[in-house]
Structure 1
Amino acid sequence: MPQLAEVFAGSGDAAAWGFALAQLPTGAEVLWVQDRLSGLEMGRPSGAGLKRYGADPARFTLVRTKNAKEALWAMEEGLKCTTLGAVIGEITGNPKALDFTATKRLAMRAERAGVPVILLRIGGQRSLSAARRRWAVEALPSVRHRFDPKAPGAPRWQAELFRGRDMRPGTWEAGYEPKAHRLNLSAPLRHPEVAEAQVRAANTL
């Protein structure tokens, strides 16, 4: 079921971007909303970066707002659009507008619209939220390139699911498979009794 997911990452850490892009449905029309602080700190997603995750830059609509309140409004309005396949919202810190009620509204609209929503929390502290899955991610060294050791390999992250309504919390090494456009969660660093999980992008959110 499409749902609201939160992804926390440190200030200036692009790990949240990659982790979110790895989960997008293939060929989806995507609305990406940034508040002003996120835009200043993180910049804009590049076409080359989007293509690295199998995404078509032409299918992305980027909106930059003055503040978090406007960003949340833009995300809700975007969910009324029947052509969208996903919504990404990027908010820095813990602004007053981003309270439990705001996340509850987003979660309900995501489920009603049948569209997954990923809320990127850049430099934010964990607070009350209605998100069904809440992740904290940080970048790991990329996978060694098969043919050129000097070339960048597939990205990897340490991904902690600290709250999940439909998935048991734990910490994994997450990797992206470009050919399959798939996010793999494997080798759990906690809860070793949890079996290796392979989560396809379309079913992750």
Structure 2
Amino acid sequence: MQDHLSARETGRPYLAGIGAGRAIITINLSRPVDVLWTLENSLRCHTLAAVIGELWGDPNAVDFTATKRLALRSEASNVPCWLIRHAATPNLSAARARWRIGSAPSALHPHDQQAPGMPRWSLDLFRAHHARPAKWTVTYDRTTDCVDPLPLPRNREVGARDGTARQLTG
């Protein structure tokens, strides 16, 4: 589900590889409140694999109560729900995990240093109920059609707050 401004500014979602062999329903709505209403009511359907909504900016309809309703409905139906907010500020939210995703400088092209290489993105998990905040840089490999994390820096500590943290040495 997208509001009109998200569709105009970011385009339609690229759905290749998503739901292989499954039906995909896309809905373009004019008002953010309609996107939220459709998300919440879609989460009543236990047979859906996931529900994704896109909104532009900081509409008044996206408040703590609206995100809490989505989180509770998602947990009750056991259907994952993602609310993607383009060009938005990190307002108060009941989301179980909050991410910032942005572009990163592309890798060097292996045969031409002047040409762009594989695309990269920066991922920032800045708030989550069951995980530590972390940052990653990922790249898309066209030959394998996969998104892969780049190697972690040497001697970086990874792990959870529960004492399972360890030092990486490679």
Global fold match (TM > 0.5): yes
Q: For the residues of structure 2 that align with 1:133 and 1:186, how far apart are their CA atoms?
A: 23
1:43 corresponds to 2:7: no
Q: For the residues of structure 1 that align with 2:10 and 2:42, how far apart are their CA atoms?
A: 22
Offset, 1:99:
0.1
1:90 corresponds to 2:54: yes
2:100 aligned partner: 136
1:109 corresponds to 2:73: yes
2:2 aligned partner: 34
Query: Any conservation in 2 of the 1:162–1:169 contact (CA below 8 Å)?
Result: yes
> Alignment RMSD, CA only?
2.9
Partner SS, residue 107 of structure 1 = helix
Distance 1:144 1:100, change over 3 A: same
Q: Which runs of 5 or more residues in structure 1 are unaligned? A: 1-32, 196-205
Whichever residue aligns with residue 90 of structure 1, its letter is: E
2:42 aligned partner: 78
Q: For the residues of structure 2 that align with 1:71 and 1:132, how far apart are their CA atoms?
A: 19
Q: Normalized per residue, which structure has more helix?
A: 1
User: Relative to structure 2, which stretch is displaced further, 73-82 or 92-101?
Assistant: 73-82
Query: Any conservation in 2 of the 1:50–1:57 contact (CA below 8 Å)?
Result: no
Higher RCO (C-alpha 8 Å, min separation 6): 1
Whichever residue aligns with residue 78 of structure 1, its letter is: S
Query: Any conservation in 2 of the 1:158–1:172 contact (CA below 8 Å)?
Result: yes
Offset, 1:130:
0.4
1:167 to 122, 126, 131: 131
1:141-160 aligned at under 5 Å gives the runs 141-142=105-106, 153=118, 155-160=119-124
- Point out the structure with max Rg over C-alpha: 2
Partner SS, residue 167 of structure 1 = coil
Q: For the residues of structure 2 that align with 1:124 and 1:181, how far apart are their CA atoms?
A: 28
1:121 corresponds to 2:106: no
Query: Any conservation in 2 of the 1:35–1:71 contact (CA below 8 Å)?
Result: yes
**TM-score (ref. length: structure 1):** 0.64
Q: For the residues of structure 1 that align with 2:37 and 2:56, how far apart are their CA atoms?
A: 16
**TM-score (ref. length: structure 2):** 0.76
Distance 1:186 1:112, change over 3 A: farther
Query: Any conservation in 2 of the 1:78–1:87 contact (CA below 8 Å)?
Result: yes
Query: Any conservation in 1 of the 2:49–2:80 contact (CA below 8 Å)?
Result: yes
Q: For the residues of structure 1 that align with 2:134 and 2:37, how far apart are their CA atoms?
A: 32
